[in-house]
Amino acid sequence: MVAEKLVKKAGWAEMRAQFSWPTPARYNIAEQICERWARVEPNRVALIYIRPDGERRDYTYIQLSRASNRLANALAAHGLGRGGRCAVLLPQTPETILTHLACYKLGAVAVPLFTLFGEDGLRYRLANSGAKAVVTDGANLAKLLAIRDDLPALEAIYSIDQRESGVRGFWQELGKAKDACEMAETTLTDPAFISYTSGTTGPPKGALHGHKVLLGHLPGVEIHHNFLPQKGDKLWTPADWAWMGGLTNVMMPALNYGVPLVAHRMAKFDPDEAFALIKREGIRNAFLPPTALKLMRQSTVAAVDMRSVGSGGEALGAELLDWGRARLGTTINEFYGQTECNLVLGNSHEVFPPRAGSTGMATIGAEVAILDSEGRVLPDGESGEIAVKRGIPQMFLGYWQQPEKTAEKFVGDWMLTGDVGMRDADGYFHFSARADDVITSSGYRIGPSEIEDCLAGHPAVAMAAVIGVPDPVRTEIVKAFVVLSGLGDEALKAELIARVRSRISPHVAPREVEFIDALPMTATGKIMRRELRPK
């Protein structure tokens, strides 16, 4: 069962009115993004992999199908079955796709993990998910081996390159397995993967998504890529496939549509190289986070001619939209979503004109409203919390093993986003602020709690609070306010930053540390982070 491709109508209202979600009895992501293509066009190019050293290799759908069958059989032989969790700690590589496909074929649950996570970040997510296996590479192997004894559920580590004692060779295991396997019969609501989201009042929560998440993303992806797929389309993103933006906005939809997917994850984003890659590979479609766009705006490399560019995470503004038309050859289509429910607002300049400062209108199939503090829908022009109506397939099944947190996310039939905004009289939504303490930095949503816990674990720290402060390129940078148990100096600040970088991840490490005498607290002892923000 495949969702019908959207057809451009005279107006947005007509397109929304004529749309209805398909409800197939059986639905499996691996079938949609690989197997059906492998049957009808086996030699169609699915993936163009460009290694960090520049070596290029094409992978066809039949190659992905057979290799993922082998992996599914290998994982099954070692006990991974329906509902079992398998973590994926890899950058943009063919093996990342193969592991996702193998999990879905088994009815198992993938757990994508960001390669910059340190030992503490990995330990929590692997323990919380109860991952039985993890697929990684030599660059990340040492972190896993260091915490392996703390993870009783973790039975197997597979490495795609470097071999160590007690670590299984990924390709060696595939070589011993058969290249055919039976697809698990899954429904729209059978679990597919767990994506961890940043928490503000506790540790990260695992957003559990069903196979329906792919179906739910397709209309939004088609719209912000100007009715993808078109002849000659080729899709790329610098965003890591461990996050929803890379996984469900790019990797899965590209394979679903038969659009060649370019895999190339730079160790550090280079705007000149991004332009060169787009030109060299003939990339016509891309998801470029706002920070990438701001860095590319500083480049003096010649302009490119793209058919579509999507971006999300913050409002871009008229100036950046004008730059995109001049240097990228297209109007950037902004969109909005969360780990729990992605692509619910968006733009499509071929259907309606974008409005500077707006994240667009409710996407096809989604109902979005502004609620007051009592959960009542507000009229246009009034500010409140952005909320999404239950029942759309891109909405998560719930937080992994946290039913009480899942319940807190909803008011009646509405999922609360924690973001404050307003809808104007024409249906455009305008994001204004976060209702919680999530920090948006370089396209990442960062929760303060995990960072604060890490800082507080240092013997010199009595208490810590973390906020985001404005930054012209990254939107916000992480700043830590630290109450010391003794004396501190610049060397201690550097040590605290390094502690977060190594234990959690470099992308969440504070860029500023300020020592203060006391933190602002409520009468019940909660930190008032808002009081620390610049006035």
Is residue 247 one of the residues assigned to a domain?
no
User: Residue 417: pLDDT above 70?
Assistant: yes
**CA dihedral defined by 179, 180, 181, 186, rounded to 10 degrees?**
110
**pLDDT tens digits for range 259-284:** 999 999 787 889 999 999 999 999 99
Is residue 516 one of the residues assigned to a domain?
yes
Task: Give the percent of the chain with pLDDT over 70.
Answer: 96
Count of domains in the chain?
Answer: 2
Nearest of 12, 332, 107, 366 to residue 215 by alpha carbon: 366
* 229 upstream amide cis, omega within 30 of 0: yes
- Residues 464, 143: Cα–Cα separation, whole Å: 26
Strands 133-136 and 85-88: parallel
Q: Where are the alpha helices (DSSP H) in 364-423?
A: 403-408
Is residue 316 one of the residues assigned to a domain?
no
pLDDT of amino acid 435: 63
pLDDT of amino acid 3: 54
User: Which two three-digit tokens encode residue 3?
Assistant: 């969702």
CB of 483 within 8 A of CB of 517?
A: yes
Instruction: Give SS3 for 106.
Output: helix
Q: Among 134, 169, 186, where does a domain finish? A: 186
Who contacts 533 (Cβ-Cβ below 8 Å, separation ≥6)?
Answer: 467, 469
Q: Among 186, 210, 234, where does a domain finish? A: 186
Phi, psi values for residue 419, rounded to 5°:
-110, 140
- Residues 478, 455: Cα–Cα separation, whole Å: 13
Is residue 96 one of the residues assigned to a domain?
yes
- Of the spans 201-205, 357-361, 450-454, 520-524, which averages the highest pLDDT? 357-361
- Residues 112, 92: Cα–Cα separation, whole Å: 11
> Any idea what the CATH number is for the domain that residue 42 is in?
3.40.50.12780
CB of 154 within 8 A of CB of 80?
A: no
Report, as an integer, the average pLDDT of 408-415.
Answer: 97
- Residues 43, 63: Cα–Cα separation, whole Å: 8
Nearest of 21, 110, 19 to residue 394 by alpha carbon: 21
Who contacts 376 (Cβ-Cβ below 8 Å, separation ≥6)?
Answer: none
pTM higher than 0.75, yes or no?
yes
- Residues 210, 115: Cα–Cα separation, whole Å: 24
- Residues 106, 211: Cα–Cα separation, whole Å: 13
pLDDT of amino acid 524: 46
Range of the domain at 453: 445-532
Q: How many CB atoms lie within 10 A of CB 17?
A: 10
**pLDDT tens digits for range 427-447:** 999 887 666 677 888 878 787
Instruction: Give SS3 for 526.
Output: coil
> Any idea what the CATH number is for the domain that residue 521 is in?
3.30.300.30
pLDDT of amino acid 1: 44
Report, as an integer, the average pLDDT of 102-112.
Answer: 98
pLDDT of amino acid 433: 63
- Residues 259, 327: Cα–Cα separation, whole Å: 23
User: Which whole-number Å values give the CA distances from 388 to 48, 196, 205, 262, 394, in the listed order?
Assistant: 36, 20, 19, 32, 11
As to burial, measured by CB atoms within 10 angstroms (0-12 exposed, 13-18 middle, 19+ buried), residue 187 is: middle
Is residue 120 one of the residues assigned to a domain?
yes
Q: Among 186, 201, 225, where does a domain finish? A: 186
pLDDT of amino acid 447: 77
